[in-house]
């Protein structure tokens, strides 16, 4: 799915996940001024979240996408605390996003 379409579908969740990844910085590319550094990864992570059933699934997805984008050496080990923290926050954001979408659908 192209990035523009992903941004259109997920709106504020896109920015939120990008910020979560930048702050937790699992790939260690946060140099303070490059806040969009995780933008490409977000565009491939978000469409996969529909298949996530747990925080552990999100953890796998985030690490898997980082490996695809950066390679296994740069992405590092999945057990890093930064991946765990990012997964927990993204899972929480995903649940809120879905709850809001369900509420909007119910009011139509």
pLDDT for res 105: 61
Whether the per-residue pLDDT at 107 is higher than 60: the answer is no
Rounded Cα gap, residues 42 and 15, in angstroms: 9
CA distance 103 to 97: 10
To the nearest whole number, what is the mean pLDDT of the chain?
Answer: 90
Q: What is the per-residue pLDDT for 36?
A: 67
CB atoms within 10 A of CB 18: 22
| Structure token digits, residue 98 | 């879905």
Cα gap 55→33, rounded to integer Å = 29
pLDDT at 39: 86
CB contact at 8 A, 91 and 55: yes
Q: What is the pLDDT of residues 53-91, one digit of tens each?
A: 999 999 999 999 999 999 999 999 999 999 999 999 999
Q: Does the pLDDT value for residue 51 go beyond 90? A: yes
Ranges of each domain in the chain: 3-30+37-101
Predicted pLDDT of residue 106: 61
């Amino acid at each position: 799915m192209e990035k523009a379409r992903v941004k259109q579908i997920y709106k504020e969740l896109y920015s939120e996940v990008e910020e979560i990844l930048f702050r937790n910085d699992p790939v260690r590319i946060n140099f303070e001024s490059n806040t969009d550094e995780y933008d490409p990864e977000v565009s491939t992570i978000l469409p996969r979240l529909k298949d996530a059933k747990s925080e552990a699934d999100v953890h796998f997805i985030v690490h898997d996408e980082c490996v695809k984008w950066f390679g296994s050496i740069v992405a590092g080990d999945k057990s890093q605390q930064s991946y765990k923290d990012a997964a927990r926050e993204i899972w929480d954001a995903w649940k809120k996003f879905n709850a809001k979408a369900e509420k909007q659908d119910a009011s139509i």
